[in-house]
């Protein structure tokens, strides 16, 4: 969530920044007013509490000295003050709760350099790589679901039979290709990121930390009986790794990666991109994440985009990098880039990675801090909220689709990109038949 103190001290700045997102600012102004009321109530409560404490100490002393009558009188007085304190506390608490609820749905401030814009249409394209619209032959203009069926590596009918539409099943070489892509995604980042295998069912607090709850509850699978949520991305458990912890500045940046299945109800996108692998309820993804100081974050963001990009390029795919404008940013984002891969069979640009800097927005929700290092190398004073960044290193289904479509040969077989061969036992081709 945004910094309430900053909202209080620089309201014009915060309102202007949020205004760039094109959202309704009334709730933000309301928080400002509630905050004024809350502090006043808390101040009055604290005064009364102080009196109660002082009197109670006196009561104890008087009892010890055997002055029971005087003590009894003070007890009565303190009891009355206690009633008052209770009422003031309830008032302050109610206000805090309203503020917290409102704050949870107010989005992050966009970075000053994030481009202005109202929607997806205003996202500037930063670069387009490897793309020649006329360079694709008719053999590549076949959608992956047809290729998958022809080669027996993708079985959409049976996926739907088991779990319903938008659940998919890979088989044979297709399943091996999934595993190969996961392994590739991990290996390419293992030089700098510690691998984590987190739980994929998490508690409500864990979903709140990243901003996936309360606002987007309809998009997530919820296991009612145990009150657990199926993670929509490894970002969720990775961000909460350090929840309620205080790290040392010397340990930053701290980097983690995880392969996990990801679960999404896609409630808001019914009927869109429903064919094949374009949008599915369960998919595999390798995620990379960093905890950092504010100063370290910009360079990390560039590095993480570069990592995701290099993997896509290494697979011989055409792609473009776009920056997300203020009107299209996710709630928690401070600055964000997408990588879209071109899939010739469906003739579409598919989002395969979104790399974002969250400033301290998530870390404030998750209460992740660090102890700054002083100039002399000794631990500095106090603690600061750190910054989080994360992005997909490799999202399997769409990359799978682009690989299969891009590398389909005129004879219908798939030429395995060189980078992937070690992960497929050295195989150079995926074909139909027993060796598939």
Check residue 132 for interaction with RNA (CB under 7 A).
no
392 is known as an active-site residue:
no
| Shortest CB 298 distance to RNA, Å | 24
Report the largest interatomic distance among the alpha carbons of the chain, rounded to a whole angstrom.
Answer: 103
- Residue 329 has phi, psi (to 5 degrees) of -70, 150
8 is known as an active-site residue:
no
Touching RNA, residues 284-323 (CB under 7 A): none
397 touches 380 (CB < 8 A): no
Check residue 379 for interaction with RNA (CB under 7 A).
yes
Report in angstroms the alpha-carbon separations of 432 from 88, 157, 343, 399: 74, 18, 21, 20
Catalytic residue among 20, 255, 265, 279: 279
Check residue 395 for interaction with RNA (CB under 7 A).
no
Candidates 4-12, 182-190, 324-332, 333-341 — which segment interacts with RNA by CB under 7 A? 4-12
Which residue number, 368 or 404, has a Cβ lying nearer to RNA?
368
Which residue number, 22 or 82, has a Cβ lying nearer to RNA?
82
Check residue 68 for interaction with RNA (CB under 7 A).
no
279 is known as an active-site residue:
yes
Touching RNA, residues 94-113 (CB under 7 A): none
Q: Could you tell me the two tokens for 13?
A: 């700045």
Candidates 35-43, 110-118, 150-158, 183-191 — which segment interacts with RNA by CB under 7 A? 35-43
Please name every residue paired with 235 in a beta bridge, in sequence order, or none if there are none: none
Among 6, 29, 53, 126, binds RNA (CB under 7 A): 53
| Shortest CB 434 distance to RNA, Å | 29
Binding site for RNA (CB under 7 A): 4-5, 8, 39, 42-43, 45-47, 49-50, 52-53, 55-57, 59-61, 63, 75, 78-79, 82, 246, 369, 371, 376, 378-379, 381-383
């Amino acid at each position: 969530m945004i910094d309430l103190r900053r909202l209080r001290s620089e309201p014009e700045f915060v309102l202007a920044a949020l205004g760039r997102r094109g959202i309704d600012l009334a709730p933000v102004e309301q928080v400002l007013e509630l905050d004024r009321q809350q502090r006043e109530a808390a101040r009055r409560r604290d005064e009364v509490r102080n009196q109660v404490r002082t009197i109670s100490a006196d009561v104890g002393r008087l009892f010890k000295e055997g002055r029971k009558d005087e003590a009894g009188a003070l007890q009565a007085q303190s009891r009355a003050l206690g009633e008052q304190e209770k009422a003031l506390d309830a008032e302050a608490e109610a206000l805090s709760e309203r503020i917290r609820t409102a704050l949870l749905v107010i989005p992050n401030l966009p970075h000053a350099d994030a481009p202005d814009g109202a929607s997806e249409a205003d996202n500037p394209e930063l670069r387009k790589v490897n793309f020649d619209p006329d360079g694709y032959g008719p053999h590549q203009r076949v959608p992956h679901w047809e290729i998958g069926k022809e080669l027996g590596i993708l079985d959409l009918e049976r996926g739907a039979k088991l779990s319903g539409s938008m659940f998919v099943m890979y088989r044979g070489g297709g399943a091996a290709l999934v595993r190969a892509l996961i392994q590739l995604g991990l290996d390419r980042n293992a030089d700098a990121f510690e691998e984590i295998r987190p739980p994929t069912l998490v508690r409500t607090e864990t979903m709140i930390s990243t901003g996936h709850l309360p606002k987007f509850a309809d998009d997530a699978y919820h296991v009612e009986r145990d009150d657990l949520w199926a993670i929509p991305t490894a970002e969720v458990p990775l961000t909460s790794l350090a929840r309620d912890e205080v790290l040392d500045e010397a340990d930053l940046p701290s980097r983690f990666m995880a392969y996990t299945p990801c679960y999404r109800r896609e409630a808001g996108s019914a009927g869109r991109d429903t064919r094949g692998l374009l949008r599915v309820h369960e998919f595999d993804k390798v995620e990379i994440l960093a905890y950092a100081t504010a100063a370290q974050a910009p360079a990390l963001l560039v590095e993480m985009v570069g990592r995701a990009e290099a993997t896509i390029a290494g697979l011989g795919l055409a792609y473009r990098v776009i920056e997300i404008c203020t009107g299209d940013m996710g709630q928690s984002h401070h600055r964000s880039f997408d990588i879209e891969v071109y899939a010739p069979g469906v003739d579409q640009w598919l989002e395969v990675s979104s790399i974002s800097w969250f400033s301290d927005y998530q870390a404030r929700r998750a209460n992740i801090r660090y102890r700054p290092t002083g100039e002399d190398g000794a631990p500095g004073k106090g603690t600061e909220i750190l910054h989080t960044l994360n992005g997909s290193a490799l999202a399997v289904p769409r990359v799978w689709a682009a690989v299969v479509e891009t590398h389909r040969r005129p004879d219908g077989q798939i030429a395995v990109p060189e980078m992937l061969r070690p992960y497929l036992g050295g195989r150079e081709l995926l074909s139909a038949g027993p060796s598939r």
